[in-house]
Chain A
């Protein structure tokens, strides 16, 4: 049974995602909308990580290193320019999708275990990932024409 592993994956994923959104917010502080919404999205992931803790205990979950490694790889190189912003938002997109696919996987296990509380929480994590993706998509589409052809 690998349920603990996957809970750990979602838990660590959400934690790293919270860090990533927060660091993008700080880096692009001069962009008020990016700053405010990234902080908000960071707090959502943080809340999920906290809520997952009880299930970490219930299923002997373990924190996983992969999400942190992924974040480190993705956010090491870009500066606080509009070009850097597009790349950072793209990388957030990858990170959210990683969390999302882990949620989808975990949800299959939660259903099989008939753990209603876990089902509810993972569903919420999954829906939140969708909302994070929708926002990222809107921003990327909005900013990229300027960066690609004018900047």
Chain B
């Protein structure tokens, strides 16, 4: 075997040798051992480094982008004999300049493992193979029965942040103008909802104000509850290269754990769980108190500053220390950096979005930029990050219940615009009620008032909180569950109908990352067996349902991804997320392109709000905002009476304590999160041997102090209990404050049904009142060393039963084990 870098290969090629005849370029770096690769210190433009991983030399390269985090690195898929044999980063791409992270370099092997190849229908309690006709006809028959008896309100859709925008837009029109159901949401509710909510509260609509290029020039970076070292490794490479360059930015990190990211910080603040608001209020207070605000900017471009000033004034460093545990001196050090830096890029992710007062806290980060006037120019941006590669599109295209094109449910003119575009009666579109968020969707299903749930490309049986409850809902007799997926996931096993779907690499479509960069991903290979692209499945359903417009023509007027993209361009035109200047041709060949892309900005617009006019005008804004404490939706009249007309809205929030606090019975805090080597519930990354081996098992991270107190040694199996359930996982000691425990949420049961290990067995059914994002970041738990002998007996018994009932019975078995 030869291991050569591309540079070496190029050198050989220069000498006129035929590389293929004696060299197989396998891997430019070992991304498992060295996650981020070599440093390339820089000032100005971020240098190119092309990361490659190949099993064999490909016959052809097909343009795509990575779908294993929200960074969406430009990537080419290597194809040989109709199979994917590797990937390489696209050096021309603005997002990654050729680099790829460990998930991107290894995750593609999942395309060729354990795939669903035929539709399945549950008959006599068992999933059996069926034809597409049988499966689709059954779904259509069920839809019509329910519509007849209960209206379309009995039907709900739960989709994902991992399809393509063409698929979301098609699903959006089917749900809203075909069926007319308000019950559409996605797993983006679990990862990105607060990003959208906080951006629209402050700026009037979603979309990151800045660009990744702001990391190239900024003087300071603030990460709040965001660990790019693990979650967005390629973005972290950019930051590491800046940090090792001639003019490194200052780095402030807020995270209760000592993460890869926190290790590099100039100032690391480690607050107690659930105390983001007091901490951020404390920082804002110090900055205002020291006079580091931009008074002219505040006066000309914002509203609400006085209320903020009054609210945060109570949060002195001493009081912040009392509530958050962050030493006052450290808070002052962080405030000095954030208050005096001439430019600043801030980011937030799940440590904010999945924690107490999610939207209220995220909004304070926006406020930091607003009171200092650090927005709309180079090196200045707040990134309310996304959690998945196409979460942005789920929201933009209306597949999560929002109105397509960032339109406002409560604005009659916006709804009429859509009705005209789709040529349907305005009251076909359910505009009288706010879209049903995911947790409510499952609540309605539990209550029996949603009777059909169509789940696409997501795995709620592992990813939603309080799993015992979720399994019980999915198994309910009177809930018809359709699961559209590429694998027989934990959720698919509970379905009534399973539709085999094509995935990335097997279909064409576009998606948009966290800095508004749109990429095209071309079809590289055929899907396995009878698996179909999600777009084709939705279109097939629309045809069989015979959805029509006002003039009797088919409602969905497209049949290919490119036609769907053209339809989406029309829908987005004139809105903040304007795609009208893009085309498949334009997106193919070079770099991804940022929205808005239109006549004014044919190559896309790098930064929003460069004129400091925000999208808050009453007739343009995406939302009239919410009460941050209750989530109550601001009525239209009220908003119009004090129309901010383009000013950014500063909203204050005071601290509210978490509802579940550690007590005698459950004395410790649990938080959950991700690992660098896995994505979501590992349906893809768990199928790469390298990624699996790098992080094969769930674990409980605990401090040395707690380990000593509970007499737990490294590797011991520990039983963790909450009011909802229990798991048994091995201990990993260190890197976390006493009293706080951490379990990664990736691990479910498809590859190991023998032991309860999904973190969400423990988490609670509760969510942020504004964004409706569930709280995964705190739950009160107890721990004790597991009685392995008793466990051993249970496991042995379980194994016997598994042999009898095989994979299908895994859920039943877990219930028997009372997990």
User: Hey, which bits of chain A sit against chain B, CB under 8 A?
Assistant: 31-33, 36-37, 40-41, 82, 131-132, 134-135, 137-138, 141-142, 145-147, 149-151
CB-contact partner of B632 in A135, A145, A146, A147, under 8 A: A135
**In the assembled complex, which residues on chain A have CB atoms less than 8 Å from the CB atom of B686?**
none
B151 and A141 contact, CB distance less than 8 A: no
B153 near A145: Cβ-Cβ < 8 Å: yes
- Bound complex: CA of A137 vs CA of B633, how far in Å? 8
| Cross-chain contact A37 with B630 (CB below 8 angstroms) | yes
Is B539 part of the binding interface, using a Cβ–Cβ cutoff of 8 Å? no
B150 within 8 A of A: yes
- Range, interface on chain B: 20 to 34
Per the bound structure, the CA–CA distance linking A82 and B766 in Å amounts to 18
- Determine the distance from Cα of A19 to Cα of B432 in the docked complex, in whole angstroms: 31
Q: Among the listed B447, B631, B765, which residue makes an inter-chain contact with A138, where contact means beta carbons less than 8 Å apart?
A: B631
In the bound complex, what is the Cα–Cα distance between A48 and B514 (angstroms)? Answer: 44
Fill in one digit per residue for B431-449: 1 if any A CB lies within 8 Å of its CB, else 0: 0111010011001100111
Of all chain B residues, the one with the shortest Cβ separation from A37 is: B630
Task: Assess the A135–B630 pair: CB atoms within 8 A.
Answer: yes
With the chains together, A32 CA to B447 CA distance in Å?
A: 14
Which residues of chain B are near A149, meaning CB under 8 Å? 150-151, 153
For residue B634, CB closer than 8 A to chain A, the reply is yes
Cα A41 to Cα B632 with chains together (Å): 12
Interface of B is mostly: loop
* Docked complex: B752-777 residues within 8 A CB-CB of A: 765-767, 769
A37 to B434, CA, bound (A): 18
B150 and A36 within 8 A (CB): no
Measured between beta carbons, the chain A residues less than 8 angstroms from B443 are 31
- Look across to chain B and name the residue whose beta carbon is closest to the beta carbon of A133: B632
Docked pose: A6 CA to B66 CA in angstroms: 66
B806 at interface, CB cutoff 8 A: no
Complex partner residue of B769 from A37, A146, A151, CB under 8 angstroms:
A37
Q: Do B151 and A134 have beta carbons less than 8 Å apart?
A: no
CB distance from B165 to the nearest CB of A (A): 27
Centre residue among B151, B443, B630, B635 by max chain A CB count within 10 A: B630
Q: Is B191 an interface residue when CB atoms closer than 8 A count as contact?
A: no
Would you list 7 pairs from A and B whose C-beta atoms are within 8 A, ordered by A residue?
A31-B443, A33-B631, A36-B766, A132-B630, A134-B630, A135-B630, A145-B433
Residue of A nearest to B635 (CB): A134
A131 touches B627 (CB 8 A): yes
Residue of A whose beta carbon sits closest to that of B630: A135
Is B712 interfacial (CB-CB < 8 Å)? no
In the complex, B273 has a CB within 8 A of chain A: no
CA distance A128 to B31 in the complex (A): 55
Interface flag for B154 (CB, 8 Å): yes
- Beta-carbon contact of B635 and A151 below 8 Å: no
Cβ of B123 within 8 Å of any chain A Cβ, yes or no, is no
CB distance from B59 to the nearest CB of A (A): 54
A36 vs B150: C-alpha distance when bound (angstroms): 30
B767, A33: Cβ atoms closer than 8 Å: yes
| Structural contact, A37 and B631, CB atoms closer than 8 A | yes
| B182 contacts A by Cβ under 8 Å | yes
A146 touches B766 (CB 8 A): no
Residues of A within 8 A of B630 (CB): 37, 40-41, 131-132, 134-135
Q: How far is the CB of A127 from chain B (nearest CB, A)?
A: 11
5 cross-chain pairs, A with B, having the tightest CB-CB distances, nearest first: A135-B632, A134-B632, A135-B630, A146-B449, A150-B449
Shortest beta-carbon distance from A16 to chain B in Å: 20
CA of A142 to CA of B153, assembled, Å:
12
Contact of A137 with B151 at beta-carbon distance under 8 Å, contacts A36-B659, A146-B449 already known? no
Q: A82-B447, A132-B630, A134-B627 are in contact. List 8 more A-B contacts (CB 8 A).
A: A33-B440, A36-B766, A134-B632, A135-B627, A135-B630, A146-B450, A150-B451, A151-B448
Question: A37 — which chain B residues lie within 8 A by C-beta?
Answer: 630-631, 769
Tell me, yes or no, whether B340 is within 8 Å of chain A by CB: no
Determine whether the beta carbon of B635 is less than 8 Å from that of A137. Answer: yes
Pairwise interchain contact B635-A141, C-beta atoms closer than 8 A: no
Whether B5 is near chain A, meaning CB under 8 Å from some CB there, is no
> Please, how many angstroms separate the alpha-carbon atoms of A79 and B419 in the complex?
40
In the complex, which of the residues A32, A138, A150, A151 contacts B767, with contact meaning CB atoms closer than 8 Å?
A: A32
| Interchain CA distance A36-B450 in the complex, whole Å | 24
**Of the residues A33, A132, A134, A150, contact of B150 by C-beta under 8 Å:** A150
Task: Please report the C-alpha to C-alpha distance between residue A151 and residue B445 in the assembled complex, in whole angstroms.
Answer: 11
Determine if B629 is an interface residue (Cβ-Cβ < 8 Å): yes
Query: What residues on B are CB-neighbors of A31 within 8 Å?
Result: 443
Contact in complex: A138, B151 (CB < 8 Å): no
**In the complex, A146→B430 CA distance in Å?**
13
Which one of A36, A131, A132, A141 contacts B433 once the chains associate, using CB atoms below 8 Å? A141
**B763-798, CB under 8 A of A: which get 1 and which 0?**
001110100000000000000000000000000000
Inter-subunit contact A131/B153 (CB<8 Å): no
* Chain A residues, CB < 8 A from B439: 32
Residues of A contacting B153 in the complex (Cβ-Cβ under 8 angstroms): 145-146, 149-150
Residue of A nearest to B774 (CB): A32
Please, which residue of chain B has its CB at the minimum distance from the CB of A139?
Answer: B632
B632 near A137: Cβ-Cβ < 8 Å = yes
A52 to chain B, nearest CB (A): 21
B622 to chain A, nearest CB (A): 17
Most B-side CB within 10 Å, residue of A32, A82, A137, A146? A146
Q: Say yes or no: B769 contacts A141, CB within 8 Å.
A: no
Measured in the bound complex, the distance between the Cα atoms of B765 and A36 in whole Å is: 11
Do A146 and B444 have beta carbons less than 8 Å apart? yes
> A147–B449 Cα gap in the complex (Å)?
8
Residues of B within 8 A of A151 (CB): 447-449
Minimum C-beta distance from B232 to chain A (A): 31
Minimum Cβ distance to chain A for residue B109 (Å): 40
Residues of A within 8 A of B447 (CB): 82, 146, 151
B145 to chain A, nearest CB (A): 13
For residue B430, which residue of chain A has the nearest CB?
A145
Cα A134 to Cα B433 with chains together (Å): 14
- Counting chain A CB atoms within 10 Å of each CB, which of B432, B436, B632 scores highest? B632
Q: List A contacts of B659 (CB < 8 A).
A: 36
Task: Check A150/B434 contact, CB under 8 A, given A36-B659, A41-B630, A134-B635.
Answer: no
Partner of A150, one of B154, B432, B769: B154
CB-defined contacts of A137 to chain B, threshold 8 Å: 632-633, 635
Q: Could you say which residues of chain A place their CB within 8 Å of the CB of B634?
A: 134
Report the bound CA distance from A150 to B20 in whole Å: 65
Nearest Cβ on chain B to A138's Cβ, whole angstroms? 5
B434 in contact with A142 (CB, 8 Å): yes
CA–CA, A36 to B631, complex, Å? 12
Complex contacts, B449 vs chain A, CB 8 Å: 82, 146-147, 150-151
- CB-CB nearest in chain A for B146: A150
Query: A32-B767, A131-B627, A131-B632 are known contacts. Are A138 and B150 too (CB-CB below 8 A)?
Result: no
Q: Which residues of A contact B436 (CB under 8 A)?
A: 142
In angstroms, how far is the closest chain B Cβ from the Cβ of A21? 11
Residues of chain B lying within 8 A (CB to CB) of residue A138 = 434, 631-633
Q: Which residues of B contact A147 (CB under 8 A)?
A: 449
Q: How far is the CB of B409 from chain A (nearest CB, A)?
A: 11
Binary per-residue interface labels of chain B (408-437) against chain A in the complex, 1 for a CB within 8 Å, 0 otherwise: 000000000000000000000000111010
A36 contact set on B, CB distance < 8 A: 659, 766, 769
Q: Mark B614-640, 1 if CB is under 8 A from A, else 0.
A: 000000000000010111111100000
State the CA gap A40–B440 with chains docked (Å): 20
Q: How far is the CA of A145 from the CA of B433 in the complex (A)?
A: 8
Of all chain A residues, the one with the shortest Cβ separation from B764 is: A32
Bound: A130/B409 CA distance, A: 21
